[in-house]
Structure 1
Amino acid sequence: MSTDIATRRSVAEVYDHVWENRSTIQSRDAYAMMLLALARENPLLACLTTDMNFQDHFARELPRQFVDLGIAEQNMITVAAGMTVAARPVFANGMSPFAIARAYEQIKVDVAGANLPVKIVGTHGGLASGHYGPTHHSLEDIGATRLLPNMTVVVPGDAWEAVQATVAVADDPGPTFLRLGRSATPTLYDERTEFVLGKARVLREPGRVLFIATGPYPNLVAAEAAAELAATGITAGHLNMHTVKPLDREAILDAIAHAEVVVTIEDHRAVGGLGGAVCEVVAEVGGPPVRRIGIPDVHYDLVGGERYLLDNAGINVPNAIAKALDVVAR
């Protein structure tokens, strides 16, 4: 984690800094920079945390807008909900496996049910903390939060998208789950395009194959798989579904009009997350077959680095191509 996040920057300067360093900066650092810049402009914005040291710079500069609840995620969510009486929005920060799974009842009742502007930010999403073992895997968080009423679920694809999403969710009046990773990842973008909640980004125009991905590594897999298929003469589209809820049904329906198969890719269980959401849309209109790539529906108890665990689970380019060719003939 970089000490650079403590540098004083305006919102516009954060945008510029992250864009220039979008392949080398961690998404959680990009988020932390933007959150502080937004808080300087909005004295009602509050930041809560569960002993996450990447927010220390916020506490030093804006102590009246900051509360550290310690390692007590359930308490943090309830406190965040209560603080919305005087503060809006309230960002509640924690490691995703604990901020969501441990505090799910509080999220369900105090935040989603009450439709309050609490922005739950879960770092270390997916297998980002795989080196700590299955207690720190966060493989159910997208599915769990998309089940809840009023909840927006956002999974940025890189650091650049993380800062854009931070601004977007801060302006949105309802509750949000913003899922961030741990490591810096290559950027998905060559141009500074607009980010809109609930609107997928078309990274490659629809073809015979349609890849739909969410999150950094799944989108990188989709991009490479689409390029490799195209090199063999099989056209392949790629949607970055950064917002899993509300899902961009229009983008999916437009893209499947051209597709013989849809392949979804996510660093989440293959049930309940992006793949399940896409299947719901496609099934309603009798669309093409869908092949889902995600974590198998087993107790995934391996310990190791994030890339190793993703590859072991089949979240890789060869498997993405194989799923497509299972339906599309060369």
Structure 2
Amino acid sequence: MCAQSSPWVASSGDLGPPCRSACRAATLSTADRPSEVPRSQGRCASRIAPGERQESSVVKFHGASDLELRHLRAFLAVVDHRSFRGAAETLWISQSALSRTIAQLERIVGQTLLERNHRGVLLTEVGERLLPLAARALSAADDAVTATVSPHSTLRVGFSYNALGENTTPLVREFESVHPGVRVELRRIDEVPFAGIEDGRSHVAILRGLPADPRIGHVVLHQEPRVAALPREHPVAALAEVTMDDMRHSPLVVVPITGTTTLSLWDGVGQAPRQVIRVHNLEEWLEAIAAGRGIGLSGESTSMLHPHPWVVYRPVSDAPLLPVVLAWAGDQPHPLTSDFVDLAKARYVCTVR
């Protein structure tokens, strides 16, 4: 996903100056500079024989010089909201202005990044490749600005849903009181599996389930009981407690990117549902269940933080516990990561992994 996929990326994971080898003419001495290339063509000019057409890659490269942070911010906002309307409201601009900004970005990279259909706005394959790079670029820019005020004045904590439930606010307040001048910035990020750890948008992330990536360090803060989310009129909704086998006849609604529910959870405890309905986020998950499309399985904090008039939650007596995890980038942790982790561990009986 982080391969060199757009003209403004120098290499995988490298957000440095875009010229490099494409601008070899800029590194040549005066004596070595090709005589055919006038100086007025600038430092990114390359040898072009008379009558020869310039390659499209060079044209794209010149367009990349027009790239601005506002283009990337607009792109990420549309991806986050999956709609131009929601993104425009968040950015405090008109939908037409947002559309022009996205069109400019697509001209700069020379590719279509977003497609609209009846389900909303979807990323193209190129857009999928650009997404983590754009997020990393904006995070780097934010860090650069922050560093001029204080080297480590902001700790970005990502989560996909629920965070630490009712314990989130006390933890943030206590950490900021222990570290005067430091601000904890909570970010909901549910379009990537590890809530922004993988692309630099988060320094620390609160996850459900164990991260399989060995590059991500983590501790298990506690184990959360699971609950079934049922349509209000579901046959087993009248029960005070349900079993995994009670749900076998209903389609299962899941969030593949950030969710933790798989059919393997039914191994040894009952027959798994035969149909799986995939949605993008917690809101879509809730609405699908409320509409009677199927049932869901989640941590008990979901029942406290996300009540719905058409959804009932019931404890699942034989469901495996759900690990609540604090994770961070193992290779380059933020300097405040260890302090935040230590404070969070002090609030829970945890198992270190």
The structure whose residues are more often helix, as a share, is: 1
